[in-house]
Amino acid sequence: MPLSDATIRKAKSAEKPFKLFDERGLFLLVTPTGGKLWRFKYRINGKEKLISLGGYPDVSLADARDRRDAARKRVAAGVDPSEERRAARAATEDSFEAIAREWFDKFKSRWTEGHRRTVLSRMEDNLFPHIGSKPVRDLAAPEVLAALRRIEARGANETARRVRQICGQVFRYAVATGRAERDPSSDLKGALAPVEVRNHAAITDPKELGALLRVLDSYEGTLVVKCALRLAPLVFVRPGELRQAQWSEIDLDSAEWTIPAWRMKMKQTLTVSLARQAVAVLRELQPVTGDEKYVFPSGRGGSRPMSNNAVLAALRRCGIEKHEMSGHGFRATARTILDEVLHERVDLIEHQLGHAVKDPNGRAYNRTAFLKDRAAMMQRWADYLDKVKAAHPQANAS
C-alpha cells in the first residue's frame, strides 16, 4: 500500500532503523533517533543503487514522489542520478572559489593581518562573482582575462595586476594538488594595460628636509601622533611597521627595536638601532602608552594600533601636500641622503631598510649582520637630521 501523511506522522522510532515503503522504489527510513529520511532505490546497468531525497517533514510525501519521478526519468534516459550528484559535488569542490579559499587558508598564517584582508577582499570582490563557481581545470585564459578587464574598466590597473598574480598562485596550487593541468594566467603576460609607475613622494633636498622637520615639530595634535611623526624619519621603517610597533619589541636600554618576521614584508626579522634621539621620543611617549600593547595605539582604544591614515592626515594638517611627502617617503629620503650626501655604505643602508642583501657568493647575509656598524650609521643619520633642522631656512645645510 502507498504511504499516507497520517502513516508517516504516526511512525515512531524503534531500537533499530526500519523502512516504510511507498511505491516505485520510494521508501522512508525511520532511524532510532527519530529521523525520517526519504530514499529512492533503483537499478541501472544491472546494479542496485540508492540516493537520498531529503528528510520529512521538510520534504513532504508529495515532494518526495516528485523527486522520485524526476530521478526515474533520469534512469530511463540512461543517466545514473547517483553519479550525476557525485559529479556535481566534485565540480563544486573543485571550483575556483573552493580551491582559492583552500589555498588562502593554507598560506594565510604566513601573512600579516593586513595582507590577509587584502588578498581575500581582492578575490571576493573581483574573482568569485565571475569565475568562482567554475571548475578550476576548465578555466581558460580568456575567462580569467574577462574578470581582470572588469577591474581595468574602473581604472584600477595596479589592482588588476595584483589580482592576476593571485590567480596564478591559486592555479599553481590547483596544479600541485592534482586538480588542474596548468596555470592559464601565465598566458596573460602582456595582455593587461601597463601600470603607471609612481614613486612615493619624498623630499631629498637637505634644505627642504630641514623645513619639513621643523614643520613636524610644530604639529599640535595628540602626543601619540606627534611622536609617530618625530620617530618616522629617525627609523625610516614602512608605515605599517611603525604604526603597529609594540612595546614588547622595544628595548630602550639596549636602544634596539626588533620587528618580528611575520610583520615584515620580506618575512625576515629586522633589528632597528635606535639613536639617542629616537630613544628620547619613545621615553617621552612611554608614560602615556607604555601600559598598552601598541606604542602608537588607536585613539578609539589601546587594543588596536593607530589607523593607516593617521600619519598621512597629520602631514596634511601640517600643510605638507601629497605630492611633497608621503608616510612611505621617509624611506626614500633616508635612502637617497644616506648614500648621496653622507656617503654611507650602500649595503648598510639596504640592511637597515629591511631589504635582502647578499654576500659576494650570492648568499643572504644573516639578519644581524653589521649591527654595530648600522647602529653607528643610525646615530649619524639622527645627528644629521638635527643639523638640517637647526639650520636657518636660507642656509646651505648640505
pLDDT tens digits, 63-102: 999 999 999 999 998 888 888 887 666 566 788 999 999 9
Annotated active-site residue 355? The verdict is yes
Annotated active-site residue 323? The verdict is no
Position 396 scores a pLDDT of 42
Annotated active-site residue 265? The verdict is yes
Of 36, 164, 331, 351, which one is the catalytic site residue? 331
Of 238, 263, 374, 389, which one is the catalytic site residue? 238
pLDDT at position 357 over 70: no
Name the residue with cell 625610516.
Answer: 236
Q: How confident is the model at residue 327 (pLDDT cuts 50, 70, 90)?
A: low
Q: How far, in Å, CA of 270 to CA of 267, rounded? A: 9
Position 362 scores a pLDDT of 44
Of 67, 179, 328, 335, which one is the catalytic site residue? 328
pLDDT at position 248 over 90: yes
Range 170-174, long-range pairs (CB < 8 A, 24+ positions): 170/96, 170/99, 170/100, 170/103, 170/136, 171/136, 171/139, 173/99, 173/102, 173/103, 173/106, 174/94, 174/99, 174/136, 174/137
Q: How confident is the model at residue 164 (pLDDT cuts 50, 70, 90)?
A: very high
Of 101, 137, 365, 367, which one is the catalytic site residue? 365
Annotated active-site residue 85? The verdict is no
Position 377 scores a pLDDT of 93
Q: Note the pTM of the prediction, 2 decimals.
A: 0.51
Position 53 scores a pLDDT of 92
| Interacting residues of 174 by C-beta distance below 8 A, sequence separation 6+ | 94, 99, 136, 137, 180
Name the residue with cell 611597521.
Answer: 241
3-state DSSP assignment of residue 54? strand
Position 93 scores a pLDDT of 74
Instruction: Name the amino acid, one letter, at 34.
Output: G
Of 207, 355, 367, 380, which one is the catalytic site residue? 355
Report yes or no: 273 and 374 within 8 Å, Cβ to Cβ: yes
pLDDT at position 380 over 60: yes
> For residues 7 and 194, which has the higher predicted lDDT (pLDDT)?
7
Q: Which letter does DSSP use for residue 108 in this model?
A: G
Annotated active-site residue 179? The verdict is no
pLDDT at position 169 over 90: yes
